[in-house]
């Protein structure tokens, strides 16, 4: 016990500073303030997620035909960019894209549930592909969450809304 008391006294007295004495300070050089360059805001690369791309301007329009129906997409008053046409007797849906240079090629259709490459062929008015009315790609397009995308050399990039007109044409063909 005798050893602890003098040790505790020394520790307590070591922390005391006589009154009126200025506190001891070490001179620490202040850091030089350098301007911090502004951090560039992160920019997603173009096409990093197709669901974030802006929608292609236009609207879907549906119309009944004698042998089926059609849904066209484009700006009102201009020629349609995309046409879905039902041939009810043949139970086929034609997906037609207006293009200045109708040449055969590949397009990729992306929906929230599927992705498929299609070979398009020159047709009257552009390039297109004929699908059986029972093709599940038509359902994937119609039920895609808000939008779907079609992209390829012959057609460029089209980000289209998944509106009811697409499913209506498909259902007309399934009869």
Contacting residues for 31 by C-beta, under 8 A, at least 6 apart: none
- Is the Cα torsion angle 172, 123, 72, 129 positive or negative in sign? positive
Express each pLDDT in 78-137 by its tens digit: 999 999 999 999 999 999 999 988 999 999 999 999 999 999 999 999 999 999 999 999
pLDDT number for residue 61: 97
Per-residue confidence band for 5, with pLDDT thresholds at 50, 70 and 90: low
Per-residue pLDDT at 31 = 58
Domain ranges of the chain: 54-174
Architecture in CATH of 54-174: Sandwich (2.60)
Strand 82-87 relative to strand 92-97, pairing: antiparallel
pLDDT band at 33 (very low <50, low <70, confident <90, very high): low
Q: Look over the chain and give the mean of its residue pLDDT values, rounded to a whole number.
A: 83
- H or E stretch including 160? strand 156-161
pLDDT at residue 36 above 60? no
């Amino acid at each position: 016990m005798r050893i602890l008391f003098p040790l505790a006294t020394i520790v307590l007295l070591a922390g005391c500073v006589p009154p009126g004495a200025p506190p001891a300070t070490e001179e620490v050089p202040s850091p030089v303030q350098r301007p911090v360059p502004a951090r560039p805001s992160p920019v997603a690369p173009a096409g990093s997620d197709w669901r974030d791309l802006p929608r292609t301007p236009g609207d879907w329009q549906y119309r009944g035909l004698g042998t089926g129906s059609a849904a066209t997409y484009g700006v009102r008053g201009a020629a349609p960019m995309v046409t879905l046409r039902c041939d009810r007797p043949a139970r086929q849906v034609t997906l037609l894209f207006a293009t200045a240079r109708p040449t055969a090629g590949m397009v990729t259709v992306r929906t929230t549930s599927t992705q498929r490459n299609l070979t398009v062929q020159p047709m009257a008015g552009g390039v297109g592909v004929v699908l059986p009315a029972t093709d599940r790609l038509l359902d994937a397009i119609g039920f895609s969450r808000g939008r779907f995308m079609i992209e390829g050399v012959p057609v460029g990039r089209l980000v289209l809304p998944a509106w009811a007109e697409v499913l209506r044409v498909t259902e007309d063909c399934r009869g």
